[in-house]
Amino acid sequence: MAVRNAAALPGSRPLIVFSHGSALWNRRMATFLCTHLSSHGYVVAALDHSEVVAPELARRNGETAEQRTARVESLIASRVPDIRFLLDRLLGGPWWDSQIKLEPGQVGIVGYSFGGWTALAATAEDSRIRAVVALAPAGSSRPKPGILPVKLTFNWGRDVPALYLVAADDTMTPLAGMYELFGRTPATKQMVVLRRADHVHFLDHVEEEHETVRSMPFTGELAWIPKEMRPIAELCAGESAHLLVRGLALCHMDATLRRQEEARRFLAGDLEDELAMRGVDAFVHKA
């Protein structure tokens, strides 16, 4: 749903990097959010991570357990360097529009699932990142079978305000793991939980994508996924999820990167009531 070659307004702009989920998805998996942020004056850069474009990181038929382990370790290791490479190019290289200047002190990152882990991990490695939004991130100490066994140090060394937006009925990154990651986050933080929502509620075309994933012929360690996913008819509407993510992610970036007092007051207020008035059934997790 993004608009190719749209004209940008000249001036100084904050930068937000978007990190997508595993190789099931790509940089265009959440245009509902990326286009919304850009429409509010942010430059948003969404990249295809290495496992999407590098042949040596792609799944192979007949690979041995040792080969799979080596491949997975390599694709995990590529994630944070991908983000740092993109930031280097955007902040230090030639810019495509001479009328736009990126503000190096106003850099945020948003990530979903494996990309949520990437966002949290990159914050420990790159001091240019000043704000984080983690959508149903991976990285808990007890991942479900077949989910990437990624680890987080949280050695941020500074206060990087973090917003977690997660799903109450998430099959792939369950709520208990979200609470764990939130508890370990060493910064100003906030978590909002969307009721009757699953892992795919943070993508474009929620209803279609959810049922597509639920009908996939997962085998081996991942065979449990379609069995545990509830039909989309039993869950909240995709538009409710999009409204929550668009509104709160933008508000978090406005409050943190742009230091907008109105955004800060909104986030500090009664979010549950504000969301309910907009038809969104969610609750704020208290640390």
CATH number of the domain within which 203 lies? 3.40.50.1820
Residue 5: inside a domain: no
Residue 3: inside a domain: no
Residue 120: inside a domain: yes
pLDDT for 4 equals 76
pLDDT for 120 equals 98
Q: How many domains does the chain have?
A: 1
Residue 62: inside a domain: yes
Check if the beta carbon of residue 14 is closer than 8 Å to that of residue 106: yes
Q: Please list the residues that pair with 43 across neighbouring strands.
A: 15
CA–CA gap between residue 181 and residue 189 (Å, rounded) = 11
Burial class (CB in 10 A: 0-12, 13-18, 19+), 160: buried
pLDDT for 55 equals 85
Burial class (CB in 10 A: 0-12, 13-18, 19+), 233: exposed
130: containing domain? 11-285
pLDDT for 154 equals 98
Please list, in sequence order, all residues whose beta carbon lies within 8 angstroms of the beta carbon of residue 10, skipping any fewer than 6 positions away: 97, 99, 100
pLDDT for 274 equals 97
Residue 17, amino acid? V
Q: Is 42 left (phi over 0), alpha (psi -120 to 50) or beta?
A: beta
Which residues does the chain have with pLDDT short of 70? 1-2, 23, 95
